[in-house]
Chains A and B, each alone.
Chain A
């Protein structure tokens, strides 16, 4: 799910965490800082793209001012329009890329604030273009993108490039004064050209610059991300409208799922228990006819009717189990998960407990999620064991299902995982799957709720 209207969750850390943890900390620190310096440089480069929209708009304003009221021709107007449109598109592209990179590099998740794009069903190039332009111009986020482009190109990039500048400056000072290998005009930097004391000072200044640059690099990235978030993130108003859109989506998903479940129950009853009861009635009727003339046959029919009644009962039982599992009603989520674990063909271990009971709908959604995950594990994972963790922390019901199977589970492909995701989304719950090829597969789900 694409976070619309959701509180930003913990960001995934880049790189494979196990590999990183195996390295000694200086190596990790240096690698992390180098990466951060590089990321800062890249972001500063991206900021330069802001010259297109900002420069374009300034150019157009300048030109119009020069011409005054009298000299405008259709050609200049169209040219100005085209330049503005191109500028806005570039600004939007730059903003989109910055949001993505901020999420990856700056530990700042910036929610995309745009309004939904216009209906693609509109016919005719001209109409579509008009609808597209209206959409672009009416969205305040477009103008905020433009504002970001100007802020960024005027000064934001300095923040991103600062660590790289310090580090590179440090290196240059070291090379020139510390070692004296290459010669370029040293007086420009304000140092006298010769002397041991100069070399010593240069050594301190150079190393200091490099270390300071490396040290502040991650912080400067975070600061840059925050700054970007101020303008590129949704405003309060946009946030509310995103939330409304998210709620409308999940509500309609929930209603659809409910209707589908009702249809399934109706079909199961119709094809199962109901049909069996009809057959039983007919069998009993025939037995009644035969009971005087052929008691043997009547007896056989009665036995058949009894078998039918047993099957009808079994079907009803399975149906009830699918609607509202008895153990869940009796004992609550943890025990019901324990019961699931006992029924699982893969050895399942349950840990954790809850200090109270979540609301019934949440409990039920969580139960069926675990049930489906366990079914997935036994069907696809080829796992020998599975561990289930049930916890409640800081207002979140947390469930973790980890197996030692072959991994490779994909949230996008399997309908099972996306189905779970949709169902818990109705409670603002989120699902996270980590399943590298070769395993292990870890599925975590979190549902915000109160316990009672």
Chain B
């Protein structure tokens, strides 16, 4: 797998590069600003772009806008956006295309190397990885929704993990239950929320996110 990395802080850029390389992920280019990211993506055609939201020259949401521009240039380019903070507003913009290959995570998640690398591979494969904090706020916003409130606590937990973009296997591992009971929970959740069940993991995530974000 080949990755283009855009991060302006040298320490983080260097640390991320080493961590990714340690997991056999090739760094095609590591840049420190938005315009360079676009050039690097065009030049190296990577499998994934990992982008910090706040980049020079504006030090605002330059990275996010560059990531969206890169996806316009190369539709379907998987993008993993990292940030010191997460905002539902930005999550929505990233998901607005309705296709997969989107990740939006707090930089803190890098601290848990294995989970972070899992998310990287998942996004590169066209999946979705949303930060638990985004999902927690989405769920809080939907606490008043009749259908969500009617879910059992366990089902709500499964819904949250599903929205983060985790597969049945990952959810089962996380909650220490069998994959079969996860499948039962997800089927029940889809019925209660009135969503079309889907075997495709990514379509499932997008349906759940669309429901929670409506």
**B-contacting residues of A (Cβ < 8 Å)?**
306, 309-310, 313-314, 317, 320-321, 326-327, 329-331, 335, 338-339, 342-346
Contacts and interface: CB of A to CB of B under 8 A. Distances in A.
Given A331-B60, A345-B143, A345-B144, A338 B108 contact: no
Contacts, number: 48
A309 B89 contact: no
Contact of A314 (B54, B60, B108): B108
Contact of B60 (A313, A330, A344): A330
Contact of B89 (A313, A329, A339): A339
Interface in B141-183: 141, 143-144
A361 B208 CA distance: 39
Contacts of B106: 317
B143 A335 contact: no
Nearest to B84: A317
Contacts of A309: 111
Contacts of A343: 88, 137, 141
B85 A330 contact: no
Contacts of B60: 329-331
A327 B93 CA distance: 13
Closest 6 CB pairs of A and B: A330-B61, A330-B60, A342-B88, A339-B89, A313-B108, A326-B85
Contacts of A335: 89
Interface string B48-88: 00000010000011000000000000000000000011011
16 contacts: A317-B85, A326-B54, A327-B87, A330-B54, A330-B60, A335-B89, A338-B89, A339-B88, A339-B89, A342-B87, A342-B88, A342-B92, A342-B137, A344-B141, A345-B143, A345-B144
Contacts of B143: 345
Nearest to B83: A326
B140 interface: yes
Nearest to B133: A314
Given A310-B108, A310-B111, A329-B60, A345 B88 contact: no
A314 B136 CA distance: 14
B85 A320 contact: yes
Interface of B: 54, 60-61, 84-85, 87-90, 92, 106-108, 111-112, 137, 140-141, 143-144
A414 to B, nearest CB: 23
Contacts of A306: 111-112
A331 B93 CA distance: 13
Contacts of A338: 89
User: Which interface residue of A313, A317, A329 has the most chain B CB atoms within 10 A?
Assistant: A317
Given A310-B111, A330-B60, A339 B85 contact: no
A235 to B, nearest CB: 49
Contacts of A344: 141
A344 B88 CA distance: 11
Given A314-B108, A330-B60, A331-B60, A342 B141 contact: yes
Nearest to A340: B89
Contacts of B108: 310, 313-314
Nearest to B64: A330
A326 B87 contact: yes
Contacts of B107: 313
Contact of A327 (B84, B89, B141): B89
Contacts of A329: 60
Q: For B87, B88, B107, which residue has the most chain A Cβ atoms within 10 angstroms?
A: B87
Contacts of B54: 326, 330
A346 B141 CA distance: 7
Contacts of B87: 326-327, 339, 342
A306 B54 CA distance: 25
A339 B88 CA distance: 7
